[in-house]
C-alpha cells in the first residue's frame, strides 16, 4: 500500500508542483484503485479517475537502453501529452517527436533543448515552420517538393529527413502509406531537386505502421533504406540520421514483444548500418512508453437487464431487438389491443403477435416469458396470457410472489438463473466512454478488458454490454462480453490505457475528463530523482 509519503514534482513554466504518492513494492493495482475509491467515497465523489504510474516510464526507458542501446527514442507526444508524463520523460533524457507548434511549445517550456525535438510532420503550417525556425527546432521531415519549397522559404537552414513509403503488403492496425511518404522509386528525382534548391537533407525516416502484424517489417525497411542512403550520398548529401519511426508494442503479447522487435532491429542495423557508417539512429515510440502508465477506474452508473424482443415465426419466436425488463422479469397487469404484446409500452409498430396456438387464457393477470429455447434455438413465449390475451413487459418492481417465477431466484440482490437460460443480457452504463478515455477502443479497435476489486463475485458470468455515459448509441465500450453481475455504484478498472486515450477525448455531451492521481514505487522514484538531479547539474 501507500508508504504515506507524497513527493512534489516541480513543473516548468511557472505551474504549481504536482503531488506523487509513493507506494511500496508489494502494492498491487487492486490496492491502489481501492485506496482511491475509498478516498472518493469519503467525499461522495463518483468521478472516473486515472492512476498514472510514472514508474513505468522509467522502467520502459531502462528496458529500451538495455535491449536497443544504439537507437535514441524521441517520444511521440501525440500519443499522450499529459504534462506530468512529458515532464518526467524530459527529465530522464528522452527526445520528442512533435507534429505542431503547440506540441513544440509544450516541450520547449519544459526546458528541453531544441536538438532533442524532431518536427515529424511531413505537411506543416507555414506559421509552424516559422516558429520552428525562431526556436531553432531544425530537424524535420518532408516527403515531396511542395514541402521542400515551404521549408526553403521559412527555414532554409533546417536539417531534413525524407520520409519514404514502406512496402505495400505491410499490415498494421494503422497504416500511413496512403497519406505520407515518398515512393522509393521517386527518391532520386526528389533528391536531385533538393540538391538544386541547396537544402540540407541529412537522412531518411519511415513508419511501418502502428500496431504492425510482423516484426520483420523493420528488417525489410531498414534494408530498403540502406540503398536509398547510397543514392543520397552519390548526389553529395551527407547522410547521418536514420529515423525508424514507431510501431513498438506498448505491452508484450505472445505474438509480439519488445525484446523480439529489438532483436530484429539490432540485427538489421548491424548488417546495413554498422557503426562504422557514421549514421545516428533515432525512433519515435509512443505507445511503448505510456500504454502501461495509465489505469482507468470507472463506476457503474446504471444497470438494465434486457431480453431480446420476439418476432412471430410459425411456432417459434425469434430474438430480435432488445426489450427492457427488470431484474425480476414481471409483466404489467394492464393489457391493450387484442392479440398483441407490447414491450414496455412501445408503439404499435413494435407489437409482438402471438400465434393462435399460444393464445390460451387462464384468467391470470400476467404473462411470463419462460426463457426456454426451441430445437432451433429460438426463444418461445410461455403459452399462458392474461384474460384478454395481452400484456405489456414492464420495469415495475416485482412483488415477493414472483421471486421464483420463470426459473429466476432473487437472493441478496442477485439473480440466479438456470444454465439453459440465454435470453437475458446485462447492460451497464459506466461514467467514461468512447468519446472520453476509451477513445482508443474506437480508433485502435482495442478490446477493453476490465478488472474487478476484491468485493466482486466473479464466479458466475453473464452476457453483458458496457455502455459509455453519452447519448450516442455508438458509445459502446464492450459488446457482448462475459462479466460477473455488477451492481450500481460498483467500481471496475482497465489497465494499459495510456496510449491514444486522453489525447483523442472530445468531451461530447459535456462529460468531464477523469481525475488523475500520480503514483510511483519508492525504489523507482529514487532512481528518477537521481536522473533529474543529474540532468539539472549538467544544465
The reported pLDDT for the residue numbered 521 is 95
Helix (H, G, I), strand (E, B) or coil at 11: coil
Confidence tier at 211 by pLDDT (50, 70, 90):
low
Going by C-alpha positions, the residue among 227, 225, 224, 238 that lies closest to residue 194 is 238
Catalytic position from the list 146, 471, 476, 520: 471
Helix (H, G, I), strand (E, B) or coil at 148: helix
Cell of residue 366, nine digits? 400476467
Measured CA to CA, the distance from residue 353 to residue 341 in angstroms comes to 6
User: What are 481-511's pLDDT values in tens digits?
Assistant: 889 999 999 999 999 999 999 888 888 998 8
* Confidence check: pLDDT of 226 > 80: yes
More confident residue, 436 or 124: 124
In the chain, CATH 2.40.37.10 sits at: 424-515
Q: How far is C-alpha 464 from the geometric centre of its chain's CA atoms?
A: 20
Q: What b/e sequence results for 470-481 when a residue is b if at least 16 CB atoms lie within 10 Å of its CB, and e otherwise? A: beeeebbbbeeb
Report the chain's mean pLDDT, rounded to a whole number. 79
Instruction: Based on the residue annotation, tell me whether 98 is a catalytic residue of this protein.
Output: no
Going by C-alpha positions, the residue among 194, 198, 204, 77 that lies closest to residue 147 is 194
Beta bridge partners of 8: 19
User: What are 417-455's pLDDT values in tens digits?
Assistant: 444 444 689 999 999 989 989 888 877 777 788 999 877
The reported pLDDT for the residue numbered 2 is 64
Burial status of residue 503 (CB atoms within 10 A of its CB: 0-12, 13-18, 19 or more) = middle
Backbone angles phi, psi at 101, to 5 degrees: -60, -40
- Report pTM: 0.78
Rounded to 5°, the CA angle 298-303-306 comes to 135
Cα 399 to Cα 110, 167, 332, 341, 410, distances in angstroms? 63, 66, 12, 22, 11
The reported pLDDT for the residue numbered 250 is 81
What number of other Cβ atoms are within 10 A of residue 523's Cβ?
11
Measured CA to CA, the distance from residue 45 to residue 42 in angstroms comes to 8
Rounded to 5°, the CA angle 73-235-121 comes to 35
Confidence tier at 536 by pLDDT (50, 70, 90):
confident
- 81-285 has which fold? TIM Barrel (3.20.20)
Q: pLDDT above 90 covers what percent of the chain?
A: 55
What is the pLDDT averaged over residues 160-165? 96
Helix (H, G, I), strand (E, B) or coil at 439: helix
What is the pLDDT averaged over residues 347-374? 37
What is the pLDDT averaged over residues 192-215? 87
In the chain, CATH 3.20.20.10 sits at: 81-285
If phi over 0 gives left and psi between -120 and 50 gives alpha, with beta otherwise, what is residue 160?
beta
The reported pLDDT for the residue numbered 535 is 72
Cell of residue 107, nine digits? 516541450
Q: Which helix (H) or strand (E) holds 313?
A: strand 294-313
CATH number of 424-515: 2.40.37.10
Q: Are 287 and 212 in contact (CB under 8 A)?
A: no
Going by C-alpha positions, the residue among 188, 283, 299 that lies closest to residue 235 is 188
Measured CA to CA, the distance from residue 209 to residue 176 in angstroms comes to 6
CB under 8 A, 24+ apart: contacts of 534-539: 535/91, 535/92, 535/93
The reported pLDDT for the residue numbered 213 is 63
What number of other Cβ atoms are within 10 A of residue 198's Cβ?
8
Measured CA to CA, the distance from residue 186 to residue 200 in angstroms comes to 18
What single-letter DSSP state applies at residue 106? H
Amino acid at each position: 500500500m501507500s508508504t504515506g509519503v507524497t513527493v512534489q514534482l516541480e513543473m516548468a513554466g511557472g505551474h504549481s508542483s504536482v503531488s506523487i504518492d509513493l507506494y511500496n513494492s508489494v502494492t498491487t493495482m487492486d490496492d491502489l484503485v481501492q485506496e482511491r475509491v475509498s478516498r472518493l467515497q469519503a467525499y461522495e465523489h463518483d468521478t472516473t479517475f486515472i492512476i498514472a504510474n510514472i514508474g513505468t516510464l522509467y522502467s520502459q526507458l531502462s528496458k529500451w537502453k538495455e535491449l536497443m542501446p544504439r537507437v535514441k527514442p524521441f517520444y511521440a507526444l501525440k500519443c499522450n501529452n499529459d504534462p506530468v508524463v512529458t515532464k518526467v520523460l524530459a527529465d530522464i533524457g528522452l527526445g520528442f517527436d512533435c507534429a505542431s507548434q503547440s506540441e513544440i511549445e509544450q516541450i520547449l517550456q519544459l526546458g528541453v533543448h531544441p536538438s532533442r525535438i524532431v518536427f515529424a510532420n511531413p505537411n506543416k503550417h507555414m506559421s509552424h515552420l516559422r516558429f520552428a525556425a525562431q526556436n531553432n527546432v531544425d530537424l524535420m521531415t518532408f516527403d515531396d517538393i511542395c514541402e521542400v519549397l515551404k521549408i526553403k522559404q521559412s527555414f532554409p537552414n533546417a536539417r531534413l529527413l525524407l520520409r519514404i513509403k514502406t512496402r505495400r503488403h505491410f499490415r498494421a492496425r494503422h497504416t500511413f502509406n496512403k497519406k505520407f511518404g515518398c515512393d522509393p522509386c521517386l527518391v532520386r528525382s526528389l533528391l536531385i531537386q533538393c540538391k538544386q534548391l541547396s537544402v540540407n537533407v541529412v537522412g531518411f525516416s519511415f513508419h511501418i505502421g502502428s500496431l504492425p502484424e510482423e516484426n520483420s517489417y523493420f528488417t525489410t525497411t531498414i534494408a530498403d533504406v540502406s540503398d536509398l542512403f547510397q543514392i543520397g550520398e552519390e548526389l553529395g548529401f551527407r547522410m547521418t540520421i536514420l529515423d525508424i519511426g514507431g510501431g513498438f508494442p506498448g505491452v508484450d503479447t505472445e505474438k509480439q514483444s519488445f525484446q523480439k522487435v529489438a532483436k530484429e532491429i539490432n540485427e538489421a542495423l548491424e548488417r546495413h548500418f554498422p557503426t562504422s557508417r557514421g549514421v545516428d539512429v533515432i525512433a519515435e515510440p509512443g505507445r511503448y512508453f505510456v500504454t502501461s502508465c495509465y489505469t482507468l477506474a470507472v463506476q457503474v452508473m446504471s444497470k438494465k437487464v434486457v431480453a431480446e424482443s420476439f418476432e412471430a415465426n410459425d411456432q417459434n419466436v425469434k430474438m430480435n431487438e432488445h426489450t427492457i425488463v427488470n431484474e425480476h422479469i414481471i409483466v404489467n397487469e394492464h393489457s391493450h389491443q387484442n392479440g398483441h404484446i407490447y414491450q414496455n409500452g412501445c408503439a404499435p409498430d413494435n407489437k409482438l403477435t402471438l400465434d393462435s396456438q399460444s393464445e390460451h387464457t387462464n384468467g391470470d393477470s400476467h404473462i411470463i416469458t419462460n426463457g426456454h429455447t426451441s430445437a432451433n434455438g429460438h426463444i418461445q413465449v410461455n403459452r399462458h396470457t392474461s384474460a384478454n390475451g395481452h400484456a405489456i413487459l414492464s420495469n415495475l418492481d416485482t412483488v415477493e410472489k414472483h421471486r421464483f417465477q420463470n426459473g429466476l431466484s432473487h437472493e441478496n440482490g442477485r439473480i440466479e438463473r438456470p444454465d439453459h437460460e440465454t435470453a437475458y443480457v446485462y447492460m451497464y452504463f459506466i461514467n467514461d466512454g468512447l468519446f472520453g478515455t476509451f477513445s482508443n477502443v474506437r480508433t485502435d479497435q482495442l478490446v477493453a478488458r476490465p478488472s474487478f476489486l476484491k468485493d466482486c463475485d466473479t464466479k458466475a458470468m453473464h452476457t453483458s454490454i458496457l455502455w459509455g455515459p453519452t447519448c450516442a448509441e455508438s458509445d459502446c465500450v464492450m459488446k457482448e462480453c462475459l462479466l460477473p453481475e455488477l451492481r450500481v455504484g460498483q467500481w471496475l478498472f482497465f489497465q494499459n490505457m495510456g496510449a491514444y486515450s486522453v489525447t483523442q477525448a472530445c468531451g461530447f455531451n459535456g462529460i468531464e475528463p477523469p481525475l488523475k492521481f500520480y503514483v510511483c514505487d519508492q525504489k523507482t522514484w529514487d532512481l528518477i530523482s537521481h536522473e533529474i538531479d543529474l540532468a539539472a547539474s549538467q544544465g
